[in-house]
Amino acid sequence: GSTVALAACGADKCSGRPTFFWREDAKGDPAPFFELPEAQRESGELLWVVAGIASRDGSSVLLLAQRVQRPLTVLGSTAIVIHNVDKVDDPRQWQYTMSELGDEEMTWFSGVTFAEETGDQVLLFGHEHTGGPHSF
């Protein structure tokens, strides 16, 4: 399973304690917040969210996750876009889409930032695992 925490934040700081949310399956056991397709789950794949950024207007969030198998074999990266996050108070009700990025040799989960002071374009930072310098 995984946990999401929400905190009230302004331009320069966050105030108060975060509120934690988690999902449960039909039996009441912990369940992942973001679900991979059934075939990937059955093969033991999990998502481990490691970076993210909110849209400038606060209406959506882009998360970057590793796709892993235990103990910690990285299989690739997944971008998770949460839609209308500003209109849903309970994160367990979030609607999201996912897109796979890269594979075990080229992963895209190290970080994300806006490309310019204005606009919606973002830069993704990743790792190339085969060694040696490369340009992409």
Mind listing the pLDDT tens digit for each residue in 59-115?
A: 999 999 989 888 888 888 999 999 999 999 899 999 999 999 877 777 777 888 898
For the chain, domain boundaries: 19-128
**Among candidate residues 24, 32, 37, the one with its CA nearest the CA of residue 97:** 37
Closest listed residue to residue 14, CA positions, set 4, 5, 3, 23:
5
Instruction: Report the chain's mean pLDDT, rounded to a whole number.
Output: 86
Please give the pLDDT value at position 110.
80
pLDDT value of position 87: 95
Global confidence as pTM:
0.84
Which pLDDT score, from 0 to 100, does residue 132 have? 55
User: For residue 35, what is the DSSP state?
Assistant: P
Q: How far apart are CA 80 and CA 54, in angstroms?
A: 12
